[in-house]
């Protein structure tokens, strides 16, 4: 694999980020969503910090971002992870590099817990999160439907060893 660079995700990245999200949707195992949002909607639903893209040369090959889990102040240190990698770049370490960079960024901004809801069939994503320090905390059975089929979601979390200890 050529050198991967990781940079903050900015509005100009949206067309590539959206295309990668659409590739993930097409697998049927990355999300229950069936349409990609417009930038404005995506932008307001994700945290301002903790948005990264991975590039090989000039090509965006993956992205990772955080979504607050709640507006309640008691959960200000908890966020949900989204991560997507282009099909040609999967299995080459892009996801692991992005997720590890996001973990470091999340601790820098004071988050003490990251969580991920992963469709049970997405074994690669479950393995990726486990390799980056996440653990399975449960399975939410029949939590949502896609194309008329009920799906289970594996809930994983990573607790920081440095943030939120004060």
pLDDT band of 25, cuts 50, 70, 90: very high
Mean pLDDT of 94-118: 96
pLDDT band of 1, cuts 50, 70, 90: low
* Whole-prediction pTM: 0.93
Contact 106, 51 (CB under 8 A): no
- Residues β-bridged to residue 150: 145
Contact 160, 137 (CB under 8 A): no
For the chain, the helix, strand and coil percentages under 3-state DSSP, each to the nearest 5: 35, 35, 30
Could you give the CA distance from residue 131 to residue 87 in angstroms, rounded to a whole number?
Answer: 20
- Residues β-bridged to residue 97: none
Is the pLDDT at 6 greater than 70? The verdict is yes
What pLDDT digit, counting tens, does each position of 120-152 carry? 999 999 999 999 999 999 999 999 999 899 999
- Residues β-bridged to residue 112: none
Domains of the chain (ranges; CATH) run 4-159 (3.40.630.30)
Could you give the CA distance from residue 62 to residue 96 in angstroms, rounded to a whole number?
Answer: 11
pLDDT band of 161, cuts 50, 70, 90: confident
Contact 145, 117 (CB under 8 A): no
Residue appearing with tokens 């995700």: 9
3-state secondary structure of 147: coil
pLDDT band of 2, cuts 50, 70, 90: confident
What pLDDT digit, counting tens, does each position of 35-85 carry? 999 999 999 999 999 999 999 999 999 999 999 998 888 888 999 999 999
């Amino acid at each position: 694999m050529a050198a991967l660079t990781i940079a903050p995700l900015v509005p100009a990245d949206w067309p590539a980020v959206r295309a990668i999200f659409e590739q993930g949707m097409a697998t049927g195992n990355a999300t229950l969503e069936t349409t990609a949002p417009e930038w404005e909607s995506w932008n307001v639903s994700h945290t301002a910090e903790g948005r990264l893209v991975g590039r090989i040369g000039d090509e965006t090959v993956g992205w990772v971002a955080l979504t607050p889990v709640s507006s309640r102040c008691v959960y200000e240190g908890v966020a949900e992870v989204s991560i997507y990698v282009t099909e040609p770049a999967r299995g080459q370490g892009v996801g692991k590099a992005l997720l590890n960079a996001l973990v470091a960024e999340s601790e820098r901004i004071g988050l003490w817990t990251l969580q991920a809801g992963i469709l049970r069939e997405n074994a690669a994503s479950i393995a990726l999160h486990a390799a980056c320090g996440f653990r399975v905390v449960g399975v939410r059975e029949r939590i949502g439907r896609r194309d008329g089929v009920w799906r289970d979601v594996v809930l994983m979390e990573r607790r920081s060893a440095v943030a939120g200890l004060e």
